[in-house]
Amino acid sequence: MLEILSYGFMQRALLAGVIIGFLCPLMGIFIVLRRMSLIGDGLSHVALSGIAAGILLNVSPLGVTLTFSVIAALAIEKLRKSYEKYAELSISIIMSFGIGLAVILISLSKSISFDLFGYLFGNITTVLPSDLWVILGLGIVVIISTWLLYKELFYMAFDEEAALLSGVPVKGINLFFIVLIAVTITLSMRIVGILLVSSLMVLPVAASLQIAHSFKHAAFLSIIFSQTAVILGIIISYYFELASGGTIVLLAVLILVSVLLFKYLKNTAKKKNEQA
Amino acid sequence: MDKILEIKNLSFGYDNKLILDNINFEINKGDYIGIVGPNGSGKSTLLKIILGLLKPTKGSIELFGQPVDSFKDWGKIGYVAQKAASFNTSFPATVEEVVAANLYPQLGLFKRIKKHHMERVYEVLELVGMKEYSKRLIGNLSGGQQQRVFIARTLVSSPQIIFLDEPTVGIDIQSQDSFYELLKNLNKNMHITIVMISHDIGVITEKANRVACMGEKKLIVHDMDSNIPITKILSQVYGEKMNLLHHHH
Ligand SMILES: Nc1ncnc2c1ncn2[C@@H]1O[C@H](COP(=O)(O)OP(=O)(O)OP(=O)(O)O)[C@@H](O)[C@H]1O
Ligand SMILES: [Mg+2]
């Protein structure tokens, strides 16, 4: 255990992991309950084109990706108004655009494929010191924003019309929230990978919904599940030289299955007790 | 008398299809108003316009003497929507969390809900008889219990008027009785103005002091104290066949 911590890159990976382990379920719980689960996938595909552009232009992919995904987030919000009844359509449009652009940018470069692999599936050895500062700084901004807007986000998730009627600035918060999602995806790409970040937003929440006694409890459990998957995932991927994103997401699936099993056993035990 | 709502020459249509045609309507403090009318006559639409959720094509609406566009004091107004009870029942929220959400008008942006704010939440839950369910998940309650929670949610911001859109749909007769008892208590003892849309004409004519009948894009308001029998207006709105008044309650 101590051996791991003696490496600079592992310290950075774990620190970044803890931040991401907070961010993903925190965004995820509002995303899932508002039935916007696709949005993570949509934005991450745009992020992919940002990474490709960054590598191609030989600048830090983090900055380019952040710009790309925030613009995409704003575009999704804008399009959502044109397709009010088909909210997911606006996500599909942006996602298609993102993949198209990414493929073209990738094909323009010949040496891109190796670098790209880490971004797609997560690679703990790639968190640079400068990345860590961005992840820490922006990550804390996202966490504090969510903490401050907790009651508004909860009200909007439960009943958007009622929230609007009681004076919550629903439009502005929606816009701000989707930007927070874009930031979260960008910050998570080194550790979890673009293709898997959406899973880390959804899986811990899905597990927590099975056993939560309240919204607060659900938020708390999602964070616990996600931290378990991220920290264990990073350690395991170090020892077995696996892609960290895949390891983390498989652990999150394992947690979900255990929770389902636990609930099933508890219910059968309860039934037996009632019969006896 | 204190005027809470004043509607003047209001017209409205969805995509050029006229739904409301030149409506005039007033609500005074302490009123218990029933709104009746056939399906699709525009009752819910009228309510949404009053609440500023839809913009009228023509006419003006004033809430507490202020145009609805510039009205800010939404805590004074409660609304229980027609589909309030059809929320996502697997949403992991407790009764107290749902009610506390509507503390927003008092708290404003960014402020966190603290322990002492919860006293008000328990107070209104007590009032609607749901205090012992505070920690229960809202999705696990019966339809009637959920409806009470939604009333508590509007009450928590201390409204002076509450709009209810078909609040008793899918609720058994006994729960309906105690629900109407609760509304009467709010109206008589707490002086909260009640505006309720309902298809239960028997109950409405018994509880309300004024009944507004929606039909043919018009609103005909009837004072229950007047000598003219309400059946006249109802048959005008629903057609001659209507004999819904034979409702034993
Ligand atoms: N969003 C909408 N877009 C277009 N037309 C609508 C919309 N909502 C309602 N309508 C139409 O407006 C008319 C009035 O609808 P509204 O919901 O106000 O009726 P209602 O009196 O509340 O009926 P009910 O008793 O069934 O609740 C109906 O003909 C309906 O089809
Ligand atoms: Mg209606």
Task: Yes or no: say if B97 and A218 are a contact pair by the CB < 8 Å rule.
Answer: no
Pairing label, strands B193-197, B32-36: parallel
DSSP count for chain A of H helices, then E strands: 13, 0
**A2-271 domain in CATH 3.30.830.10?**
no
Question: pLDDT value at position A118?
Answer: 82
Q: Is A165 on the interface with B (CB under 8 A)?
A: yes
The Cα A214–Cα A207 span in angstroms is 14
Q: What is the pLDDT of residues A206-227, one digit of tens each?
A: 999 999 999 999 999 999 999 9
Cβ partners under 8 Å of residue A96, min gap 6: none
Q: Is residue B88 lining ligand 1, measured as CB closer than 6 Å? A: no
Q: Is A9 on the interface with B (CB under 8 A)?
A: no
Substitution target from B49, B68, B88 for chain A, most A beta carbons within 10 A:
B88
Sign of CA dihedral B117, B118, B122, B128: positive
Number of other CB atoms surrounding residue A261 within 10 Å: 10
Torsion angle, CA of B233/B48/B66/B209, rounded to 10 degrees?
A: 30
B194: part of which helix (H) or strand (E)? Answer: strand B193-197
Averaged pLDDT score across all residues of chain A: 89
Q: Is A214 on the interface with B (CB under 8 A)?
A: yes
Task: Yes or no: say if B160 and B29 are a contact pair by the CB < 8 Å rule.
Answer: yes
Report CA(A178)–ligand 2 centroid distance (Å): 32
pTM, two decimal places:
0.88
Hey, is B40 helix, strand or coil? Answer: coil
Nearest CA in chain A to B156: A166
Across the interface, whether the CB atoms of B87 and A150 are under 8 A apart is answered no
Q: What is the pLDDT of residues A67-119, one digit of tens each?
A: 999 899 888 888 887 777 777 788 888 889 999 998 898 888 776 666 778 88
DSSP B200: -
Single out the residue of A247, A243, A248, A208 nearest to residue A29, CA to CA: A208
Number of other CB atoms surrounding residue B196 within 10 Å: 24
Report CA(B90)–ligand 1 centroid distance (Å): 28
What is the residue extent of each domain of chain A?
A: 2-271
Pairing label, strands B161-165, B193-197: parallel
Task: Yes or no: say if A265 and A60 are a contact pair by the CB < 8 Å rule.
Answer: no
Angle between helices A61-82 and A38-57 (to 10 degrees): 140
Across the interface, whether the CB atoms of A158 and B101 are under 8 A apart is answered yes
What ipTM, to 2 d.p.? 0.85
Strand partners, B27: B5
In the block, residue with structure tokens 């439960």: A158
Is the pLDDT reported for residue A185 higher than 60?
yes
Question: pLDDT value at position B241?
Answer: 52
Q: Is A266 on the interface with B (CB under 8 A)?
A: no
All domains in chain B, ordered by first residue: 3-216 (3.40.50.300)
- Chain B residues with CB under 8 Å of A161 CB are 53, 81
pLDDT tens digits for chain B (249 residues)? 688 999 999 999 888 788 888 889 999 999 999 999 888 888 999 999 999 888 999 999 999 988 988 888 888 999 988 776 667 888 999 999 999 999 999 888 988 888 888 999 999 999 888 999 999 999 999 888 888 899 999 999 999 999 999 888 877 888 888 888 889 999 999 899 999 999 888 888 888 899 988 888 888 888 877 777 777 777 777 765 555 544 444
The Cα A103–Cα B232 span in angstroms is 72
Q: Is residue B83 lining ligand 1, measured as CB closer than 6 Å? A: no
- Chain A residues with CB under 8 Å of B98 CB are 158
Cβ partners under 8 Å of residue A242, min gap 6: A236
Strand partners, A231: none
